[in-house]
Structure 1
Amino acid sequence: MEYFRTYLPEMLEKLESIVNIDSGSRYKAGVDEVGRRLGEEYKKLGFTVDVHENKKLGNNLVIRHREAADPKVLLIAHMDTVFPQGTAKERPFHIKGDYAYGPGVADMKASQISLLYAMKFIHQTEPETLHNVVIILNADEEIGSRTSRKLIEKWSRTVDYALVMEPARKDGSVVSSRRGGGRYIMRVQGKSAHSGVAPQDGISAIQELAYKITKLNKLTDHAKGISVSVGRIEGGKSINVIPDSATGYIDIRVQTKKQGREVMEQIEEIGAKPDLEGTSIDLEGGINRPPMEFNAKNKNLLEIIQSVGEKHGITVTNTHTGGGSDASFPSYMGVATIDGMGPIGDKLHNEGENILVSSIPERTLLLAETIRELSR
């Protein structure tokens, strides 16, 4: 623990440097600059940085030690945030009491620094362990990991364990299960007509969409962890015209793979048959993040992490959360996975987003020692 407490000022300095870089998911220049700075740090430790370039979104990085042959521990940390360009200038990194603030400080730039210094510590104390890790720093987690999912799945086929660097929950818990999620877009086509001159000639696409929204909402079962909601709608061109088009954007959350299959079938069944004769429906989408279930492998990995924590006086509790993350991908593919391995964070995606500074040494030690234990 003393190692990380000694290096905490340096860690906070590096944290400030990357928090003050805007790196919203669609701001390629900022995400790539964060990746460049982190990549240079890893190179100093003997790692190679394989850059997977994207034209519009930030580049994804795969980082391995130059002597790594068959790494079995996958570490995943995203570089993008939800904040628009200019946010870092408006409210830059600052510390107040035991909390550090700034856009993306918890989700997940403090985790990036924690991961880097865990590697530095291992480099100094047990350097051969670095041969057993592969690190993915991805650029688009906040918008569904569109370009990085295949990369994560590729490496998930080769490893035994995955540790995902989302922040620990406010109470310090790591994340052992997550709901899966997905989206559909439902486009309805009707027939336009003037509402005063010939309303009888029109067929309202908005009315058809309203029927569908009512049916979709009935699929929600909070007790089972199922949520289906239409969070945004579009339709019509003028108040005095029967609308010939309408669009609904559907959000899905499920707790198990089985629920995911059933909900997709139900949504597709709802979209297959119009309620208003003369309308047509186009439906596209599906589950894009499978659920991370608390299965036997994840439970076993949690117990290893808890045992490591006990050796260092760190109590590790676990929790379920409804939000999605990259942890869903390796877990779905059968890899033992635990999320929330970063420092303790709160108020993610909000103006008051923060990290508990005193948790950084503790959680970085937990991460480093867990990697060493898994490598044995």
Structure 2
Amino acid sequence: MKEYLKSEETAMLELLEKLVNVDSGSYNKQGVDEIVRILQQEFDDLDFDTYVNEEKEFGNQLIVSHKEATDPTTLLVLHMDTVFGKGTAKERPFTIKEGIAYGPGVIDMKGSHVTTLFAVKALLKEHADALKSVKILFTSDEEIGAPAGRAVIEEHASGMKYALVMEPARTDGSLVSSRRGGGLYKMEVSGRAAHSGIEPEKGRSAIEELSHKVIKLHALSDHENGISVNVGLINGGSSVNTVAPKATGEIDIRTTKMEQAEPLAKKIEEICATPDVDGTSIKLEGGITRPPMEKNTQTIELLDTIKEVGEEIGLPITDISTGGGSDASFTSAMGIATIDGLGPKGGNQHNEGEYLEIETLVERAELLAAVVKRLAK
């Protein structure tokens, strides 16, 4: 397989360039749908079954499987959306310099689209039966919390034994064996406006109320146990000489264990239910968006299997925990053995320096193919 994949490196890069040069931000339905079209054609050419799940608001989703697949046990999960706006690909298109590929979404995660496709091609040449145990799901909204994708992931993950999530490997090549869960809230504070010089006593400051809440919410953080609460954005007031009638705060929360999420949500709701400044009120919206991906027994067993496969092909495998979220949280929460970070190596995701180490396209395609072959047994 390695020899075949090495011979296909130029084709890999050609496909990667085509994908990267399509803007596919989460809210760019046209762009995401173009990625669907490109990938669907690639798998159609391999005589695979492809199905497009139509979405009205976000990009469509693509489901791929072998024509003879009857009861797949392994789900590969990838996302097609990026964080970049329209016009980014034109401003800084796909480029290669000294063995490094650059461009919007090159590592997060269009490189993984390429390694997945070519792992499938390699298996078709040598171990086609292994592909009958696999289903591949390309989602369209991972970067914004999977508002449409979560239900699709959970639908297709149902009954699976394994989930391989194709987010990029860490910069040192590590896979991801656990992730923190997270959530988002928005609190809108209403007060009463008044002139701060003439009759300030008649006012009720929404900013003052918001300040009380920020302090109380931040006090919920327990970094030692992996809980963090951060009011990362605030806005309020109408002018410097007016007691603020309105203020808003946006809250990001992170948890490490499933059992932490519900008590934390309840505490946030309790804090926002009672004003500290008489005459003000708070409207709270939001909640938990992603459960944590825990390193449980079944995940450890899957990780051990992947490490064994890595040794066999000469690729040492390490793993790491991370605070960032991904669709791996959804399959893990369903009790499915889940490993993330199986894509190529790179870094600087979500900014203009995003890059991919080209030599890892072949090694990660080989790893994926070998893991799929092993799990099929």
TM-score, normalised via structure 1 length: 0.98
Distance apart, 1:238 and its partner CA: 2.1
> Percent of aligned positions with the same letter in both sequences?
52
Matches within 5 A, 1:339-350: 339-350=340-351
344-353 or 109-118: bigger deviation: 344-353
Which residue does the alignment assign to 1:363?
Answer: 364
Which residue does the alignment assign to 1:259?
Answer: 260
238-247 or 163-172: bigger deviation: 238-247
Which residue does the alignment assign to 2:160?
Answer: 159
Which residue does the alignment assign to 2:285?
Answer: 284
**Matching of residue 13 in structure 1 with residue 14 in structure 2:** yes
SS of alignment partner, residue 150 of structure 1: helix
Partners of 1:150 and 1:297 in 2: how far apart? 23
Matches within 5 A, 1:277-316: 277-316=278-317
**Matching of residue 136 in structure 1 with residue 137 in structure 2:** yes
Which residue does the alignment assign to 2:108?
Answer: 107
Which residue does the alignment assign to 2:319?
Answer: 318
Which residue does the alignment assign to 1:49?
Answer: 50
Judge conservation of contact 2:190–2:280 (CA < 8 Å) in 1. Answer: yes
352-361 or 44-53: bigger deviation: 44-53
Judge conservation of contact 2:54–2:60 (CA < 8 Å) in 1. Answer: yes
Which residue does the alignment assign to 1:268?
Answer: 269
Partners of 1:294 and 1:265 in 2: how far apart? 25
Kindly provide the amino acid, as one letter, of the partner of residue 154 in structure 1: E
Kindly provide the amino acid, as one letter, of the partner of residue 57 in structure 1: F
SS of alignment partner, residue 146 of structure 2: coil
Distance apart, 1:241 and its partner CA: 1.8
Distance apart, 1:285 and its partner CA: 1.3
Distance apart, 1:253 and its partner CA: 0.9
Structure 1 vs Structure 2 CA RMSD: 1.0
Kindly provide the amino acid, as one letter, of the partner of residue 87 in structure 1: T
**Matching of residue 89 in structure 1 with residue 90 in structure 2:** yes
Partners of 1:47 and 1:268 in 2: how far apart? 48
Which residue does the alignment assign to 1:39?
Answer: 40
**Matching of residue 30 in structure 1 with residue 27 in structure 2:** no
Instruction: Give the aligned length.
Output: 376
Distance apart, 1:313 and its partner CA: 0.6
Kindly provide the amino acid, as one letter, of the partner of residue 58 in structure 1: G
Kindly provide the amino acid, as one letter, of the partner of residue 267 in structure 2: Q
Partners of 1:364 and 1:41 in 2: how far apart? 16
Kindly provide the amino acid, as one letter, of the partner of residue 40 in structure 1: Q
**Matching of residue 183 in structure 1 with residue 177 in structure 2:** no
TM-score, normalised via structure 2 length: 0.98
SS of alignment partner, residue 342 of structure 1: coil
Which residue does the alignment assign to 1:121?
Answer: 122
Kindly provide the amino acid, as one letter, of the partner of residue 231 in structure 2: V
**Matching of residue 229 in structure 1 with residue 238 in structure 2:** no
Unaligned runs of 5+ in 1: none
Distance apart, 1:114 and its partner CA: 0.4
344-353 or 325-334: bigger deviation: 344-353
Distance apart, 1:56 and its partner CA: 2.5
Which residue does the alignment assign to 1:80?
Answer: 81
Partners of 1:57 and 1:239 in 2: how far apart? 40
Runs of 4+ in 1 over 3 A off after TM superposition: none
Partners of 2:25 and 2:255 in 1: how far apart? 27
Kindly provide the amino acid, as one letter, of the partner of residue 214 in structure 2: I
Which residue does the alignment assign to 2:68?
Answer: 67
Partners of 1:46 and 1:126 in 2: how far apart? 16
Distance apart, 1:222 and its partner CA: 2.1
Kindly provide the amino acid, as one letter, of the partner of residue 271 in structure 1: C
Partners of 2:331 and 2:137 in 1: how far apart? 12
